[in-house]
Amino acid sequence: MTDQQAVLTWRDGGVPVSDRFDDPYFSLQDGLAETRHVFLAGNGLPERFAPGFHIAELGFGTGLNMLTAWAAWERAGQDTPLRFTSFEAFPMAAEDRARALDAFPELEPWVARFWAGWTGARCDLPTLRLEVIHGDARQTLPAWRGAADAWFLDGFSPAKNPELWQPDLMAEVARHTAPGGTAATYTAAGFVRRGLEAAGFTVERHPGYGRKRHMTRAFLS
Protein backbone atom coordinates (compact mmCIF):
# COMPACT_ATOMS: atom_id res chain seq x y z
CA MET A 1 0.00 0.00 0.00
CA THR A 2 1.31 3.49 -0.86
CA ASP A 3 0.93 6.55 1.40
CA GLN A 4 -1.59 7.89 -1.03
CA GLN A 5 -3.89 4.88 -1.01
CA ALA A 6 -7.34 5.38 0.53
CA VAL A 7 -7.74 4.02 4.08
CA LEU A 8 -11.31 3.14 4.93
CA THR A 9 -13.70 2.28 7.71
CA TRP A 10 -16.94 0.49 6.81
CA ARG A 11 -20.22 1.85 8.10
CA ASP A 12 -23.58 0.02 8.16
CA GLY A 13 -21.88 -2.99 6.56
CA GLY A 14 -21.39 -1.61 3.07
CA VAL A 15 -20.64 2.12 3.03
CA PRO A 16 -16.95 3.06 2.84
CA VAL A 17 -15.91 6.05 4.93
CA SER A 18 -12.57 7.76 4.28
CA ASP A 19 -10.32 7.85 7.35
CA ARG A 20 -8.36 10.77 5.85
CA PHE A 21 -11.46 12.94 5.29
CA ASP A 22 -13.84 11.37 7.83
CA ASP A 23 -16.62 11.36 5.23
CA PRO A 24 -18.57 8.63 3.38
CA TYR A 25 -17.99 8.00 -0.34
CA PHE A 26 -21.70 7.99 -1.09
CA SER A 27 -25.08 8.48 0.57
CA LEU A 28 -25.67 6.30 3.58
CA GLN A 29 -29.28 6.17 2.39
CA ASP A 30 -28.94 4.94 -1.22
CA GLY A 31 -25.80 5.76 -3.21
CA LEU A 32 -27.21 4.69 -6.55
CA ALA A 33 -30.36 6.81 -6.26
CA GLU A 34 -28.25 9.77 -5.12
CA THR A 35 -25.97 9.45 -8.15
CA ARG A 36 -28.95 9.35 -10.49
CA HIS A 37 -30.59 12.36 -8.86
CA VAL A 38 -27.54 14.56 -8.45
CA PHE A 39 -25.11 13.71 -11.22
CA LEU A 40 -27.27 12.27 -14.00
CA ALA A 41 -30.47 14.35 -13.71
CA GLY A 42 -28.37 17.30 -12.50
CA ASN A 43 -26.55 17.28 -15.85
CA GLY A 44 -29.69 16.58 -17.92
CA LEU A 45 -28.71 12.93 -18.45
CA PRO A 46 -29.49 10.56 -20.05
CA GLU A 47 -31.42 12.96 -22.35
CA ARG A 48 -28.24 14.78 -23.52
CA PHE A 49 -26.30 11.62 -24.33
CA ALA A 50 -25.00 11.55 -27.91
CA PRO A 51 -22.04 9.83 -29.58
CA GLY A 52 -18.74 11.30 -28.33
CA PHE A 53 -20.30 12.57 -25.08
CA HIS A 54 -17.62 13.23 -22.47
CA ILE A 55 -18.15 13.22 -18.70
CA ALA A 56 -15.41 14.38 -16.32
CA GLU A 57 -15.39 13.94 -12.57
CA LEU A 58 -13.54 15.25 -9.54
CA GLY A 59 -13.10 12.20 -7.28
CA PHE A 60 -13.32 8.70 -8.82
CA GLY A 61 -13.68 6.99 -5.43
CA THR A 62 -15.43 3.64 -5.78
CA GLY A 63 -16.36 4.20 -9.44
CA LEU A 64 -20.08 4.17 -8.55
CA ASN A 65 -20.83 7.38 -10.48
CA MET A 66 -18.97 6.11 -13.54
CA LEU A 67 -20.73 2.74 -13.48
CA THR A 68 -24.16 4.38 -13.01
CA ALA A 69 -23.50 6.73 -15.94
CA TRP A 70 -22.21 3.92 -18.15
CA ALA A 71 -25.26 1.74 -17.36
CA ALA A 72 -27.55 4.70 -18.21
CA TRP A 73 -25.58 5.23 -21.45
CA GLU A 74 -26.13 1.65 -22.59
CA ARG A 75 -29.75 1.63 -21.44
CA ALA A 76 -30.28 4.76 -23.56
CA GLY A 77 -29.21 2.68 -26.56
CA GLN A 78 -25.79 4.29 -27.10
CA ASP A 79 -23.40 1.79 -28.70
CA THR A 80 -20.27 3.94 -29.09
CA PRO A 81 -17.86 4.58 -26.18
CA LEU A 82 -18.95 6.93 -23.42
CA ARG A 83 -15.88 9.02 -22.62
CA PHE A 84 -15.35 9.35 -18.89
CA THR A 85 -12.32 11.06 -17.31
CA SER A 86 -11.98 11.12 -13.53
CA PHE A 87 -9.40 12.81 -11.28
CA GLU A 88 -8.36 10.94 -8.13
CA ALA A 89 -5.62 11.61 -5.59
CA PHE A 90 -6.13 8.68 -3.21
CA PRO A 91 -7.05 5.56 -5.20
CA MET A 92 -8.89 2.73 -3.50
CA ALA A 93 -7.43 -0.73 -3.23
CA ALA A 94 -9.13 -3.17 -5.62
CA GLU A 95 -10.56 -5.27 -2.78
CA ASP A 96 -12.09 -2.18 -1.15
CA ARG A 97 -13.64 -1.07 -4.43
CA ALA A 98 -15.04 -4.56 -5.00
CA ARG A 99 -16.57 -4.60 -1.52
CA ALA A 100 -18.13 -1.16 -1.97
CA LEU A 101 -19.62 -2.05 -5.36
CA ASP A 102 -21.06 -5.30 -3.99
CA ALA A 103 -23.76 -3.15 -2.40
CA PHE A 104 -25.25 -2.46 -5.86
CA PRO A 105 -26.38 -5.78 -7.40
CA GLU A 106 -28.25 -3.87 -10.12
CA LEU A 107 -24.88 -2.74 -11.50
CA GLU A 108 -23.29 -6.18 -11.43
CA PRO A 109 -23.19 -6.65 -15.25
CA TRP A 110 -21.27 -3.37 -15.60
CA VAL A 111 -19.05 -4.03 -12.59
CA ALA A 112 -18.00 -7.39 -14.06
CA ARG A 113 -17.08 -5.88 -17.44
CA PHE A 114 -15.30 -2.97 -15.75
CA TRP A 115 -13.04 -5.38 -13.81
CA ALA A 116 -12.33 -7.39 -16.95
CA GLY A 117 -11.05 -4.29 -18.76
CA TRP A 118 -9.54 -2.29 -15.85
CA THR A 119 -5.80 -1.66 -16.05
CA GLY A 120 -5.59 0.41 -12.85
CA ALA A 121 -5.92 3.67 -14.75
CA ARG A 122 -7.97 2.94 -17.87
CA CYS A 123 -10.79 0.78 -19.14
CA ASP A 124 -11.36 0.58 -22.90
CA LEU A 125 -14.47 -1.32 -23.94
CA PRO A 126 -16.84 -0.99 -26.91
CA THR A 127 -19.15 1.33 -24.93
CA LEU A 128 -16.71 2.89 -22.44
CA ARG A 129 -13.48 4.84 -22.71
CA LEU A 130 -12.52 5.51 -19.09
CA GLU A 131 -9.38 7.26 -17.91
CA VAL A 132 -8.59 7.90 -14.25
CA ILE A 133 -5.91 10.58 -13.86
CA HIS A 134 -4.10 10.01 -10.59
CA GLY A 135 -2.71 12.84 -8.47
CA ASP A 136 -4.02 15.99 -6.85
CA ALA A 137 -6.65 17.52 -9.15
CA ARG A 138 -5.25 20.98 -8.33
CA GLN A 139 -2.21 19.96 -10.36
CA THR A 140 -3.60 17.41 -12.80
CA LEU A 141 -6.70 19.27 -14.02
CA PRO A 142 -4.82 22.41 -15.18
CA ALA A 143 -2.56 20.13 -17.22
CA TRP A 144 -5.44 18.17 -18.79
CA ARG A 145 -6.03 18.80 -22.48
CA GLY A 146 -9.64 17.60 -22.63
CA ALA A 147 -13.03 19.29 -22.32
CA ALA A 148 -16.11 17.69 -20.82
CA ASP A 149 -19.77 18.04 -21.77
CA ALA A 150 -20.78 17.28 -18.17
CA TRP A 151 -18.92 17.49 -14.87
CA PHE A 152 -19.59 15.46 -11.76
CA LEU A 153 -18.18 17.55 -8.88
CA ASP A 154 -17.92 14.88 -6.20
CA GLY A 155 -15.22 15.74 -3.67
CA PHE A 156 -15.89 14.95 -0.04
CA SER A 157 -17.97 17.59 1.72
CA PRO A 158 -16.66 21.14 1.19
CA ALA A 159 -16.10 21.45 4.96
CA LYS A 160 -13.85 18.37 5.03
CA ASN A 161 -12.23 18.51 1.58
CA PRO A 162 -12.15 22.28 0.84
CA GLU A 163 -9.21 22.00 -1.56
CA LEU A 164 -11.43 20.27 -4.14
CA TRP A 165 -13.97 23.12 -4.19
CA GLN A 166 -11.84 26.28 -4.37
CA PRO A 167 -12.59 29.07 -6.90
CA ASP A 168 -9.28 28.41 -8.73
CA LEU A 169 -10.29 24.80 -9.32
CA MET A 170 -13.83 25.78 -10.37
CA ALA A 171 -12.18 28.10 -12.93
CA GLU A 172 -10.23 25.08 -14.23
CA VAL A 173 -13.48 23.11 -14.42
CA ALA A 174 -14.98 25.89 -16.56
CA ARG A 175 -11.85 26.06 -18.72
CA HIS A 176 -12.24 22.32 -19.35
CA THR A 177 -15.95 22.42 -20.20
CA ALA A 178 -17.19 22.24 -23.78
CA PRO A 179 -19.50 25.07 -24.98
CA GLY A 180 -23.01 24.41 -23.66
CA GLY A 181 -21.59 22.05 -21.04
CA THR A 182 -22.84 21.59 -17.48
CA ALA A 183 -21.71 20.69 -13.99
CA ALA A 184 -23.61 19.26 -11.05
CA THR A 185 -22.87 18.62 -7.41
CA TYR A 186 -24.69 17.45 -4.30
CA THR A 187 -23.63 20.52 -2.32
CA ALA A 188 -25.18 23.96 -2.34
CA ALA A 189 -22.44 25.54 -0.20
CA GLY A 190 -22.32 29.27 -0.90
CA PHE A 191 -18.59 29.46 -1.63
CA VAL A 192 -18.89 26.62 -4.18
CA ARG A 193 -21.79 28.31 -5.96
CA ARG A 194 -19.94 31.64 -5.96
CA GLY A 195 -16.81 29.95 -7.31
CA LEU A 196 -18.78 28.39 -10.16
CA GLU A 197 -20.43 31.75 -10.93
CA ALA A 198 -17.08 33.55 -10.91
CA ALA A 199 -15.83 30.90 -13.33
CA GLY A 200 -18.57 31.79 -15.81
CA PHE A 201 -21.29 29.25 -15.01
CA THR A 202 -24.95 30.14 -14.54
CA VAL A 203 -25.79 28.47 -11.25
CA GLU A 204 -29.13 27.12 -10.02
CA ARG A 205 -30.15 25.58 -6.73
CA HIS A 206 -32.38 22.49 -6.96
CA PRO A 207 -33.87 20.06 -4.44
CA GLY A 208 -31.17 17.76 -3.13
CA TYR A 209 -31.23 14.02 -2.53
CA GLY A 210 -32.43 12.50 0.74
CA ARG A 211 -31.72 14.67 3.74
CA LYS A 212 -29.92 17.33 1.67
CA ARG A 213 -32.28 20.24 1.01
CA HIS A 214 -30.42 21.62 -1.99
CA MET A 215 -27.94 20.68 -4.69
CA THR A 216 -26.32 22.74 -7.44
CA ARG A 217 -26.68 22.67 -11.22
CA ALA A 218 -24.41 24.85 -13.34
CA PHE A 219 -24.58 25.73 -17.05
CA LEU A 220 -21.88 27.22 -19.25
CA SER A 221 -23.35 29.38 -21.99
Ligand X SMILES: C[S@@+](CC[C@H](N)C(=O)[O-])C[C@H]1O[C@@H](n2cnc3c(N)ncnc32)[C@H](O)[C@@H]1O
Cα distances (angstroms) measured from residue 185 to each of 40, 128, 147, 161: 10, 23, 18, 14
- Shortest distance, CB of residue 211 to ligand X, whole angstroms? 16
* Cα 34 from Cα 39, distance rounded (Å): 8
Phi and psi at residue 36, to the nearest 5°: -65, -40
Phi, psi (rounded to 5 degrees) for 42: -60, -25
Rounded distance between C-alpha atoms, residue 132 and residue 195, angstroms: 25
Q: Which is nearer to ligand X, 109 or 180 (CB)?
A: 109
d(CA 110, CA 19): 28
CB of 47 to ligand X, least distance (A): 21
CB 179 to ligand X: min, Å: 25
Nearer to ligand X, 160 or 202 (CB): 160
Shortest distance, position 99 Cβ to ligand X, whole Å? 12
Q: Least Å distance between CB 187 and ligand X?
A: 11
- In the complex with ligand X, the residue whose CB is nearer, 79 or 167, is 167
Residue 106 or 202 having the CB closest to ligand X: 106
Contacts 24+ apart (CB under 8 A), 32-38: 32/64, 32/68, 32/104, 32/106, 32/107, 33/209, 34/186, 34/209, 34/210, 35/64, 35/65, 35/68, 35/69, 36/68, 36/72, 37/208, 37/209, 37/215, 38/184, 38/185, 38/186, 38/208, 38/209, 38/215
Binding site for ligand X (CB under 6 A): 6, 25-26, 57, 59-65, 87-90, 136-138, 154-156, 161, 163-164
- Cβ-based nearer residue to ligand X, 79 or 95: 95
Q: Which is nearer to ligand X, 51 or 86 (CB)?
A: 86
Q: How far is the CB of 49 from ligand X (least distance, A)?
A: 19
